Amino acid sequence: FNLPPLSRTEDVGTKTHLVTINPSIFGIRFQDLRDPPTAFIEVLQAYQNALFLIPALSFNYHLTIAYRAVNIMKDFGLAHRAFFLHPRYLAALNKYWKLKGIKETRLTTGFMFTSLALEFCDNISLYGFWPFPYDLTGKPLNHHYYDNVLPHPTIHNMSEEFSRYLNMYAQGVLRIQLGKCQ
């Protein structure tokens, strides 16, 4: 999610064909793509021919930046393609999960992505989602494998999201890989 570096561990990104980009990343890491887009292009090139999902249609400002990103991909001749989720789909998704009891202000990009996968895939396995500061053996963990930037607590509730995933696991809807992969 969100264009993480792929060079930090040997297994990260080896099967990356579909990547989400939260529009806020364009501002945080790439100055809203206003400067020469060299850093943005370098990051994209690590993903080879990945398809990028940009859930940008919730806010006009995000849409402007997302279109800027798509135009950069096109103008620089990158093979990458991006797509947006329709605003009605995002509204319906939000409404569906609110009716199911989710209290978050906004769904995380990961939760949107998982919801989308539930609509298209017969088998879903979640790897690497653990919202706690320690692993199963008590070893300290960063929030992401590449940084320890925590989500804004009034916007996202990661432990509630994890609880939803556990619920889906208990119902046989998806699999969750906890601990190291074998």
What is the 3 state secondary structure string of 96-124?
HHHHCCCCCCCCCHHHHHHHHHHHHCCCC
Q: Using CA atoms, how far apart are residues 93 and 166, in angstroms rounded to an integer?
A: 19
Catalytic residue among 17, 86, 143, 156: 156
What is the 3 state secondary structure string of 32-46?
HHCCCCHHHHHHHHC
Question: What contacts 53, CB < 8 A, 6 or more positions away?
Answer: 18, 19, 20, 21, 82, 83, 84, 85, 113, 116
156 is catalytic: yes
| Catalytically annotated residues | 156
